[in-house]
Structure 1
Amino acid sequence: MTAAIYINGVDLRMIIEKIEAEQLARKGLHIRNGCYEGISSFIAFDNQNHFLCKTLDDYIYSNQRYTLYDYKYSGIPGDHSLTCKIAIGPKEVIWYDFKNFSKVISFELNYGELEFHFCVDQYFDAINAVRNNTAGNIYS
């Protein structure tokens, strides 16, 4: 089971796929993109608290970028991880400075000014709801 990320009801993978598809097509690459899977729920919520920047070093890339997704079909360990910086302030949480750490794409994908701003209270409530959820709650 991996962590899915929805922002305002939209799967983040769909947003990323659109950004990447345009850039790959301009380079003449017609490869499958956006095939991401989230990190383990155990690391995201249960054992660590990944989205509050309390996670394993393996999920933190250079310049304090946190892994949001790994590439599903690469087969190369650590390849094509989608990351961003997470700033937690007193009133809001910001995901920004997105970067893909691909070992096989010969150019850097550009995510432009992509940023997500969350109300800090709602952000913490969402994380706590997932952390405190049980199988009984999910399937009832």
Structure 2
Amino acid sequence: MSEPTYAHTTSPRGVRTVGLLSIIAGIVLVVAGAATWWVVTDQLKAQNITVSEDAEWFGGKQVNGPVDAYSQAQVIDKHALEATGGKTYAELEQDDPLREVAMNASFLRASLFTSVVAYGVALFAAGMGLMWILMGWSLRRLAP
């Protein structure tokens, strides 16, 4: 009994087309990632937030990137816990006037952490775009 033979149906033109589409998708992802990074940076700069001098990192620096946004979020938490005697919003009694301090600190931290996440997503998108460009380029190089 002989082995079955299969016709090779993948055309070089189809592979090159998929490669080109991959390159285009990659470029779109890189541009989207870069645009997101720029918009988040621009919005953070517009808020004129300065990292507290007593922060572990970047004290006195304007918040305009993921690391200094994270640093400021950490120092906000530190200050809020100092103000509330180490208690979080959920741990304070409902009528405690310090509950508003804890709530505002929580909102500020969440906003800063949202920007940190946005930077991460932007970097991921750009990195995936680079991978798609490289895969598309490879496919086009392999197809005659």
Q: TM-score, normalised by structure 1?
A: 0.25
Bigger fraction of residues in helix: 2
Ranked by relative contact order (alpha carbons within 8 Å, sequence separation 6 or more), the top structure is 2
Bigger fraction of residues in strand: 1
Q: TM-score, normalised by structure 2?
A: 0.24
Q: Bigger radius of gyration, 1 or 2?
A: 2
